[in-house]
A and B are shown apart, each in its own frame.
Chain A
Amino acid sequence: MVAFVFFVGITNAKKGEQPNNLSFEEFTVCGDYATAIATFAQLAFEANYDVAWFNAYGECIEKYY
């Protein structure tokens, strides 16, 4: 059940839709999102990974939760 909810949350977030409001997702979905953005920023522009990660994570939380 947890795995299903987790999967739905990630899939919805990737589609840009608001995922189910589950506390378990908060880090997992937004963590996944922040990691993708920060990794791109570091590979493409040598941006500070941690600062990019926290900003993307914060934006995701604000947007979806």
Chain B
Amino acid sequence: MKSIIDRHMSRYRIAFILIFSFQFLFSQAESGTGIYRIVFPEDSQMPRMGVYKDDIKNILKKAKSLRFQLVFDQTGSMFSLVKDLQIDENDFGVKMATVIFGADKAYYTNIVEGYFIEEKQIFDKAFSIVKHIDKENWELTPEKKVINGHECYKATGKRTLTGKSFNKKTLDIVAWYCPEIPLKLGPFEAVGLPGLVVQLDLKGHSVLLDHMEWDKNISVENDISGEIVSEKEFDSIFKKMVKVRMPN
């Protein structure tokens, strides 16, 4: 009887120590860097690559070498391509992968004031689009799975994008957030959820947290400097700039 009680007590002790350690960790270092990478699901159905399949395969290969950084502190985060990434920026595959997989964009999130800024490039000119973090953009579901040892929950959302003839399209996106990492942050626009977004599922690929480094000395600064415009203004500018350059 005594041994059963002892066994239970030791389990409680371990659980208490684990919970305490976890809380201690976050109270000591609520800042750091998360590194994300692009993964392609093994069962994904790719469209036909056609005669340029070698170039397309090169783009996909280079996409796997891209790394994104989420630098965060208690106030928010800065998400962008890793600054000193060892890639050949003049390589065709790298250039195209950068554009196709959003590595030419940057996001500054201010979680305290409830907004994020998306920086987009058009023909080497940068624009900043300010958006409010809206919880209604996400639908939380009870579905969960373990990713890299973290229990994560599924949230579904929408991404608005511009189609071939400047038509607006919406894309279903899925964010896997982990409440055990209490940061309302994540890659790209996946912010405001009750836990760090460890995996963001987009069309044909996912952006997955590779590893995290905690560093209490990190503080987030807004590096975004492009001309501030609304999303509507950006769409109008984009349309004009493309039309001017598009051969007849």
- The answer to whether A and B interact is yes
A37 to B52, CA, bound (A): 8
Size category of the binding interface on chain B: 20 to 34
Interface of A is mostly: helix
Report if A17 contacts B (CB, 8 A).
no
Size category of the binding interface on chain A: 20 to 34
Beta-carbon contact of B99 and A59 below 8 Å: no
Report if B55 contacts A (CB, 8 A).
yes
A36 to B204, CA, bound (A): 18
Report if B87 contacts A (CB, 8 A).
no
Interface string of B158-202 (1 = CB under 8 A from A): 000111101001010000000000000000000000000000001
Report if B96 contacts A (CB, 8 A).
yes
Checking B54, B92, B204, B205 against A59 with a beta-carbon cut-off of 8 angstroms, the contacting residue is B92
> Residues of B contacting A52 with CB < 8 Å?
96, 99-100
A33 to B52, CA, bound (A): 8
> Residues of A contacting B204 with CB < 8 Å?
44-46
Interface string of A25-65 (1 = CB under 8 A from B): 00100010100110011111111111110111001000100
> Residues of A contacting B99 with CB < 8 Å?
47-48, 51-52, 55
Beta-carbon contact of A55 and B46 below 8 Å: no
Min Cβ gap B40→A in Å is 9
Given A45-B204, A46-B171, A59-B96, the answer on whether A40 and B50 have CB atoms closer than 8 Å is: yes
Report if B242 contacts A (CB, 8 A).
yes
Given A37-B55, A40-B56, A54-B245, the answer on whether A46 and B92 have CB atoms closer than 8 Å is: no
Checking A14, A44, A48, A56 against B51 with a beta-carbon cut-off of 8 angstroms, the contacting residue is A14
B contacts, CB < 8 Å to A: 46-47, 49-52, 54-56, 59, 92, 95-96, 99-101, 122-123, 161-164, 166, 169, 171, 202-205, 238, 242, 245, 247
